[in-house]
């Protein structure tokens, strides 16, 4: 953890406790695979020719610096198999004995899966409906997520409201979204002219050309489909149109090798952070409902660096698909989706229900649209491999790029937006519309400052028209602080008969340098174990009485050893609330058979500004969320 103290989070130095919490992840099931990639640190600031020489004389190839570092490099050994079950001790030892090598660390391999891939037939269907002011692209009428006219049983106007953004003149100009995936067919005539080659790279095979690898079943069509949703060209007679059809897409190919490594993820998420504005990821740890996994060391450093330094200091926007594990999984067990630095996006289908594969969790910020209705023509229409089009792109995979497209429109409307501004805009302009839980478990609830949220959908569906309008007049939110609100460290037993209720009373670092008065994200960093991890349910209640389910029951998770080790459960539901007072954590074991467990530690981390965030923003609509929250903040300050 030696880099920890040196990490800068949003312009502020953090206490080690939080860093430890955020950086350590349980990596049990992944410890058995070793790859042929090594992280190698050299002494001093060696020139490239010297680095190459060190690599060569030890039998390696130098794949370049890690995160732009001057002394950390990615070495690959061609003679070691890509994946094996033992460490290559002799190769590591040889490297370490080189006088120029400070340390060498062989990368473990783990699984990262695409969200929503199913091998699907390509459609030849070309409808010839044309509407006056609509894009003339043949698939546009099938893009109900852009304009829902009730086609195929959908709900009229339940869409991203992009036309209202286009009408204001915003189409994504000069904004680049990177699709971190299995490649992008950049020869596709609907993508070719919006392809940003300079910002693209292939980390799966280390070259400049992230072209998808051919397979008979079109397995590697995922990235191309995502790219089309963001930036397919308008009025060219080909396929449909992207949300931000004048924006650029970069291809970052990084999912197509036998195992994922920390270095591939880190290099991808840190690639060209001043050329790339938005990174879209539609993959993550396996959605099997029993995995607890997240970004490793270098990847975590890449995200933090992107958020603090990317986009010339305004911060990169990382958009994440919340996961396809359905009811059986909880996206707070996915450290990428649950991170404060990613915007995780869930999906609704064309009539407003959640999709059956949707995961729920309290860290989801908002939703867009995907497939799942009975009518098979209600998938996501977009570009496909080799010049084709599809109508059946699917999963939360399809939802994340739609959000990336909407954020591209907002960044064109106001290039000054920081990564936090984009999250605030998302909270303030997303709509409940007619989104609902098909199973009637999760209801829309008002938080302490009048913001409506739903455990499945976050603050609702993105509204591009409203977002660009507010983006245009936006004033950057005040500085963010990180306050450790309190810690309970004590071993306490709980069981299926007896829940455990813990409370932390906090003044939110009042009268210190890190005082937080208006919440953004809240984390409960928790260590505990149980005889069955999947039966644990956790609830966090704020001083303003907003109750977040920070962990739901996961029926497949039968872990009985690891539990959670300083796991940062995150909630967005208390956004805008005042953090002072009593926070309550409720630990339940929801099981018919007797189970028990031990609580060990809970640290409450509060994040947000000290100054009221929307003071300088004019209110035009008294019923807007902005008006409601501003009034709540004002009333509070009178108290
Ligand atoms: C992260 O990497 C640094 C070196 O780059 C190392 O010193 C530290 O121990 C690592 N932390 C973890 C949690 O593995
Ligand atoms: C386009 O974006 C780049 C950074 O991504 C910026 O440096 C440049 O000024 C922008 N150009 C225009 C015309 O806005
Ligand atoms: C962006 O910031 C610059 C410099 O602070 C300012 O001049 C400009 O008006 C801002 N643009 C918008 C759209 O807010
Ligand atoms: C959980 O932790 C307690 C206290 O450290 C330990 O005694 C117990 O064996 C652990 N239980 C499980 C199921 O691992
Ligand atoms: Ca390639
Ligand atoms: Ca087109
Ligand atoms: Ca998941």
Asked whether the beta carbons of 624 and 538 are under 8 A apart, the reply is: no
Give the number of whichever ligand sits closest to the CA of residue 529: 4
- What is the model's pLDDT at position 118? 55
Cβ of 23 closer than 6 Å to ligand 1, yes or no, is yes
Which SS3 state, helix, strand or coil, does residue 194 take?
helix
- What is the model's pLDDT at position 307? 98
Candidate from 123-127, 146-150, 318-322, 387-391 with smallest mean pLDDT: 123-127
Q: Whose CA is nearest to atom 3 of ligand 4?
A: 598
Cβ of 595 closer than 6 Å to ligand 4, yes or no, is no
Q: Atom of ligand 3 at shortest distance to CA of 472?
A: 13
Is residue 27's pLDDT more than 50? no
Instruction: Return the CATH fold of 2-26+480-609.
Output: Jelly Rolls (2.60.120)
Instruction: Return the CATH fold of 30-109.
Output: Alpha-Beta Plaits (3.30.70)
Is residue 6's pLDDT more than 60? no
Which tens digit of pLDDT belongs to each residue from 71-124?
Answer: 999 999 988 888 888 888 889 999 999 999 999 999 999 888 888 755 444 443
Which residues of the chain form CATH 2.60.120.260?
Answer: 2-26+480-609
Side-chain half-sphere exposure of 301, counting CA atoms within 13 A:
19
Q: Which residues are catalytic?
A: 181, 222, 397
In the chain, % helix, strand, coil (3-state, to 5) comes to: 25, 25, 50
Q: Whose CA is nearest to atom 5 of ligand 1?
A: 3
What whole-number percentage of the chain has pLDDT above 90? 85
Which residues of the chain form CATH 3.40.50.200?
Answer: 114-472
Which residues of the chain form CATH 3.30.70.850?
Answer: 30-109
DSSP state letters, 288-302? SSS--B---HHHHHH
pLDDT mean over 583-611: 98
User: What pTM was estimated for this model as a whole?
Assistant: 0.89
DSSP state letters, 483-503? EEEEEEEEEEEEESS--EEEE
Strands (E), 77-200: 83-84, 101-108, 113-114, 176-181
Asked whether the beta carbons of 89 and 77 are under 8 A apart, the reply is: no
In angstroms, what is the span from residue 416 Cα to ligand 3's centroid? Answer: 6
Least Cα distance to 582 among 544, 632, 637 occurs for 544
Is residue 189's pLDDT more than 90? yes
- What is the model's pLDDT at position 11? 31
pLDDT mean over 135-151: 96
Q: Which residues contact 50 (CB under 8 A, 6 or more apart)?
A: 100
Please provide the average confidence, as pLDDT, over all residues in the chain.
91
Asked whether the beta carbons of 343 and 320 are under 8 A apart, the reply is: yes
Sign, Cα dihedral of 135, 136, 137, 141? positive
- What is the model's pLDDT at position 610? 97
The best mutation among 598, 599, 600 to test binding of ligand 4, ranked by most ligand atoms within 8 Å of the C-beta, falls on 598
Sign, Cα dihedral of 47, 53, 58, 62? positive
Q: Which residues contact 200 (CB under 8 A, 6 or more apart)?
A: 178, 184, 186, 208, 209, 210, 250, 251, 252
Structure tokens belonging to residue 556:
């497949």
- What is the model's pLDDT at position 117? 54
H or E, element range at 419: helix 419-429
Instruction: Return the CATH fold of 114-472.
Output: Rossmann fold (3.40.50)
């Amino acid at each position: 953890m030696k880099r920890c103290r040196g990490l800068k989070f949003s312009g502020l130095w953090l206490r080690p406790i939080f860093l430890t919490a955020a950086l350590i992840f349980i990596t049990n099931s992944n410890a058995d695979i070793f790859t042929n990639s090594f992280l190698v640190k050299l002494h001093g600031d060696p020139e490239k020719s010297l680095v190459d020489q060190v690599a060569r004389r030890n039998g390696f190839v130098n794949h370049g610096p890690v995160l732009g570092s001057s002394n950390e490099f990615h070495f690959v050994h061609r003679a070691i198999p890509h994946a094996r079950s033992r460490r290559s001790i002799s190769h590591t030892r040889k490297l370490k004995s080189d006088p120029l090598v400070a340390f060498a660390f062989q990368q473990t391999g783990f699984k990262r899966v695409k969200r929503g891939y199913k091998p699907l037939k390509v459609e030849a269907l070309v409808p010839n409906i044309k509407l006056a002011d609509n894009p003339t692209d043949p698939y546009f009428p099938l893009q109900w997520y852009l304009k829902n006219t009730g086609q195929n049983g959908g709900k009229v106007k339940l869409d991203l409201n992009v036309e209202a953004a286009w009408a204001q003149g915003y189409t994504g100009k000069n904004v680049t979204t990177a699709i971190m995936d299995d490649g992008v067919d950049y020869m596709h005539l609907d993508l070719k002219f919006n392809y940003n080659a300079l910002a693209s790279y292939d980390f799966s095979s280390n070259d400049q050309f992230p072209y998808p690898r051919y397979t008979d079943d079109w397995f590697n069509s995922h990235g191309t489909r995502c790219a089309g949703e963001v930036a397919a060209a308008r009025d060219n007679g080909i396929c449909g149109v992207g949300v931000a059809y004048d924006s650029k897409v970069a291809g970052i190919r990084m999912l197509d090798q036998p195992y994922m490594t920390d270095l591939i993820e880190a290099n991808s998420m840190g690639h060209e952070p001043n050329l790339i504005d938005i990174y879209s990821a539609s993959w993550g740890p396996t959605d099997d409902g029993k995995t607890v996994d997240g970004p490793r060391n270098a990847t975590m450093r890449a995200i933090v660096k992107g958020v603090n330094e990317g986009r010339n200091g305004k911060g990169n926007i990382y958009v994440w698909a919340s996961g396809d594990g359905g009811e059986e999984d909880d996206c707070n067990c996915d450290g990428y989706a649950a991170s404060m630095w990613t915007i995780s996006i869930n999906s609704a289908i064309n009539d407003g229900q959640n999709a059956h594969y949707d995961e729920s969790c309290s860290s989801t910020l908002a939703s867009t649209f995907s497939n799942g209705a009975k009518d098979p023509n209600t998938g996501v229409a977009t570009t496909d491999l080799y010049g084709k089009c599809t109508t059946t792109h699917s999963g939360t995979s399809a939802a994340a790029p739609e959000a990336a497209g909407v954020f591209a429109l907002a960044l064109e409307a106001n290039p000054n937006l920081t990564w936090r501004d984009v999250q605030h805009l998302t909270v303030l302009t997303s709509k409940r519309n007619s989104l609902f839980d098909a199973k009637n478990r999760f209801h829309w609830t008002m938080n302490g400052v009048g913001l409506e949220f739903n455990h499945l959908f976050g603050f609702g569906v993105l509204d591009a028209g409203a977002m660009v309008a507010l983006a245009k007049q936006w004033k950057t939110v005040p500085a963010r602080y990180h306050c450790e609100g309190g810690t309970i460290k004590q071993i306490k037993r709980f069981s299926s008969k007896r829940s455990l209720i813990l409370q932390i009373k906090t003044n939110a670092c009042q009268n210190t340098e890190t005082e937080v008065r208006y919440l953004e994200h809240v984390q409960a960093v928790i260590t505990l174990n149980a005889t069955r991890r999947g039966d644990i349910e956790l609830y966090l209640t704020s001083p303003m009485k907003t109750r977040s389910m920070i962990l739901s029951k996961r029926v497949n998770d039968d872990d009985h050893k690891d539990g959670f080790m300083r796991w940062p459960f995150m909630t967005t539901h208390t956004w805008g609330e005042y953090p002072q007072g009593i926070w309550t954590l409720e630990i339940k074991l929801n099981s018919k058979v007797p189970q028990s467990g031990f609580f060990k530690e809970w640290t409450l981390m509060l994040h947000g500004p000290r100054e009221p965030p929307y003071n300088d923003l004019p209110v035009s609509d008294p019923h807007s969320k902005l008006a409601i929250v501003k009034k709540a903040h004002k009333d509070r300050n009178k108290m």
